[in-house]
Amino acid sequence: MAFADVLVPLMLLSLVSPSCSCTEQEEGSLLQFLAGLSRDNGLTALWHNDTDCCEWEGITCSSDGAIIEVSLASRGLEGHVSPSLGGLSNLQSLNLSCNSFSGDLPSELLASRSIIVVDVSFNRLSQVLQPQDCNSSVSDYRPLQVLNISSNLFTGEFPSVAWEKMSNLVVLNASNNNFQGLMPSSFCISSSLLAVLDLTYNQFSGNMPGSLGKCSALRVLKAGHNNLTGQLPDELFNASSLEYLSFPNNGLDGVLDDARITNLRNLSKLHLGGNMLIGKLPDTIGQLTRLEELLMSDNNMSGELPSALSNCTNLVTIDLKGNRFTGELTKVNFSNLINLRTLDVLYNKFTGTIPESIYSCSNLNALRLSGNSLHGQLSPRIVDLKSLSFLSISSNKFTNITNMLRILQNSSSITTLLIGGHNFNGEAMPGDDIIAGFQNLQVLSISGCSLSGKIPFWLSKLKSLKMLFLQKNQLSGPIPAWIKNLELLFYLDISNNRLTGEVPLALMEMPMLKSEKATTDVDPSAFERTVYIARGLQYRKLNAVPKLLNLGNNKLTSVIPKEIGQLKSLNVLNFSMNSLSGEMPLQLCSLTNLQVLDLSSNHLTGEIPLELNKLNFLAEFNVSNNDLKGPIPTGGQFDTFPDSSYERNPKLCRVTVDQLCGSAEPSAVSVLSTEQIDRRVAFWIGFGAFFGVGILHDQLVLSKFRGIMDTMGFNIVL
């Protein structure tokens, strides 16, 4: 609202066509600004000194020829922001966002007595912000209302005191910088106009200042992804205009105060996930009737859900995953929550059954109840949820999978169905007499259920299937040849079963694994919620999921078909712990996208193809416990694999400079003492190229990806 007040006069002014030309002094200021650019991207050519500078690209003048707006966003400019712009004494709006300006933001601009809006977001400005003009002898009046310095490289402490003079500030967005020290607190001491304060993604630490409670006009307060600690200060709840309160991923502790939270009647978004909050969700939350998003995941909250939650009829998203909530979900009457789209209670301690009232939530799009202790059989009413596309009920105590699948196959909306991690009392995999096939499934997990029987034929009718998790069951019989008819399938984990027979040639025909062009995207709406592989590990974007074929730990007895070379886009191949015999086919060297190759614990003979060292992205390699002979490949990624990759192959040997393989008695694999290459770097290279990003990729992402690789096939998808 307040921001609109700022814009309207500006827009009116900019409609007035200039009748007077700009002064020489103003032109000089602009040319000085131009001189500060190291890359002008053609601007100099457009700013002729023989034309009126009011006509210049990006410049707007008032009717009397004074420059009131400089608007040069997304112009590809590089260099410094010249303090000369501060000399434009009528300038009201400066927009330099989305360029590559570096250096500091001149204090002249912040201390200007005319500028109302400064937007320098998305640049590379750094250094400490100095809003105070020390030389200013004139009045301290600062009309600045909107300051957007987000997504820059500003560091240092946020100079709190200096901001006291900014008595007209309405919007401050300083998110996505490197500010440190205490969160600034003095904003509303001299003024109470501040409506939007965004400090997300910085390194602010210490307690949250209570004085923000004085900001009576504050609607949006965001400070997530910092290092804030302590409790939410009581005074904060005096900021009763707050609509959006967001502090996720900090170190906040304490309880949500049941009395004070009711002051925030206007609250529509409450984001406190990823902190260390304890205690209950207060009953009084029912008084926040405007609440739309309640995000409290990954805290240490406990107790039962308050039944008053059903009074929050505007709720769209409830995310309580990763807490210690107990009791029955039936305490909440979900029929009232007609706007609910996402309910996520993954990893809590809820008991009882799925509340019947939830089947009235006709807008429900994602329901994740996995990792609790819910029991009972699935209600046929679940197909009433016509908008439901993501359903995860894994790792609970539900019974009767036959009933479950028979019901769910009638849903045409579900694209992701995760029901693994159950002990269905020794039931067999429901067969084709019961299940006809699902309509739109893209992701199906029935892993970890100890199901016996065969891989059922009804799966062959799931034409949209992209990922299939059937690992950790007791499935027997051969791998069916129809698997190649699933044209979109790129992730198949049938490891840890009792499958027999050969590695079928049909597997070598899987279209998604043959085509290097085909990408591994899955219906994004289904995966906005992310798939949990194991606690703490999650896929953020599904296109980060590798193409995988995991047949490990079965009873397969053939050779590895030469046709394996066709699976050009495969990233992970795991045939370990079977009874495969014969040689490692040379064609493995064609799998140029491989990152993981595990053929360990089989009966493979012959030599390791030396050309495997051309697989530049290979990060894990294991042929241990076979009967291989001859030299171990060297060069490329092979200089990085540990000895354990080869152990228990008595006839394998390592070629070194002074020892030819086979010349002496083949020594058991010796220690790679001279190994110089940092394995991590080698992995980075593979990883970076695979995802089309630079080599120096964020290590966090790297370790997550590694973690996923390590746990792949073991954990139940939740």
Ligand X SMILES: *[C@@H]1O[C@H](CO)[C@@H](O)[C@H](O)[C@H]1NC(C)=O
Q: Which residues are at the interface with ligand X (CB under 6 A)?
A: 49, 73-74, 95, 97, 117, 119, 121-122, 146, 148, 150-151, 171, 173, 175-176, 196, 198, 210, 213, 220, 222, 235, 238, 276, 278, 300, 333, 335-336, 357, 400, 402-403, 406, 495-496, 550, 552-553, 574, 576-577, 596, 598, 620, 622, 712-713
Integer-rounded Cα Rg, in Å, for the chain is: 31
Name the pairing type of β-strands 476-477 and 537-538.
unpaired
Question: 223 or 632, CB closer to ligand X?
Answer: 223
* Residue 138: CB minimum distance to ligand X, A: 26
* Residues 6+ positions from 153 with CB-CB distance below 8 Å: 124, 125, 126, 177, 178
Q: Which is nearer to ligand X, 199 or 526 (CB)?
A: 199
Considering the complex, what minimum distance in angstroms separates the CB of residue 307 from ligand X?
9
Nearer to ligand X, 302 or 590 (CB): 302
Alpha-carbon distance of 372 to 349, in angstroms, equals: 5
For 25, counting Cβ atoms within 10 Å of its Cβ (0-12 exposed, 13-18 middle, 19+ buried), the class is exposed
Nearest distance, CB of residue 674 and ligand X, angstroms? 26
Contact 712, 550 (CB under 8 A): yes
Q: Nearest to residue 371, comparing CAs of 350, 356, 357? A: 350
Q: Which is nearer to ligand X, 50 or 665 (CB)?
A: 50
CB 356 to ligand X: min, Å: 9
Instruction: Quote the least distance from Cβ 482 to ligand X, whole Å.
Output: 24
Minimum separation from the CB atom of position 600 to ligand X (A):
7
Q: Tell me how far apart the alpha carbons of residues 347 and 324 are, in angstroms, rounded to a whole number.
A: 8
Structure tokens at 308: 């008053």
Residue 134's CB is within 10 A of a number of other CB atoms, namely 7
Nearer to ligand X, 644 or 699 (CB): 644
- The secondary element (H helix, E strand) that includes residue 684 is helix 679-691
Using the minimum distance from each CB to ligand X, give the nearer residue, 88 or 146. 146
For the record, the structure tokens of 506 come out as 């049909």
225-260 exposure pattern, b = at least 16 Cβ within 10 A, e = fewer: bbebeeebbeebbbbebbbbbbbbbbebbeebbbeb
Nearest residue to ligand X, scored by beta-carbon proximity: 552
Q: Supply the minimum distance, in Å, between the C-beta of residue 84 and ligand X.
A: 16
CB of 481 to ligand X, least distance (A): 23
3-state secondary structure of 85: helix
Q: How far is the CB of 483 from ligand X (least distance, A)?
A: 18
CB 140, min distance to ligand X, A:
24
Other residues' Cβ atoms within 10 Å of the Cβ of residue 266: 15
* CA 404 to chain CA centroid, nearest Å: 31
439: exposed, middle or buried (C-beta count within 10 Å: 0-12, 13-18, 19+)?
Answer: middle
Give 244 or 390: the residue with its C-beta nearer to ligand X: 244
Q: How far is the CB of 467 from ligand X (least distance, A)?
A: 17
Q: Which is nearer to ligand X, 442 or 553 (CB)?
A: 553
3-class DSSP state of 555: strand
Question: Would you state the structure tokens that stand for residue 252, as one six-digit string?
Answer: 């906040």
Q: Strands 342-344 and 366-368: what pairing?
A: parallel
Gap between the Cα atoms of 141 and 144, Å rounded? 9
List helix spans (H) across 77-171.
107-110
Distance CA 276, CA 429 (A): 41
Nearer to ligand X, 483 or 623 (CB): 623
Output 317 or 495, the one with its CB closest to ligand X.
495
Q: Which is nearer to ligand X, 214 or 341 (CB)?
A: 214
Q: Which is closer to ligand X, CB of 73 or CB of 488?
A: 73
User: Cβ 157 to ligand X, closest distance in Å?
Assistant: 20
Under 8 Å between Cβ of 215 and 194: yes
The CA–CA distances, whole Å, from 548 to 186, 477, 713 equal: 54, 21, 10
- Residue among 287 and 442 whose Cβ is closer to ligand X: 287
Q: Closest Cα to residue 441, out of 510, 504, 489?
A: 489
**Phi/psi of residue 706, nearest 5 degrees:** -60, -45
Provide the token pair at 284: 């009084």
Instruction: In angstroms, give the least distance from the CB of 70 to ligand X.
Output: 11
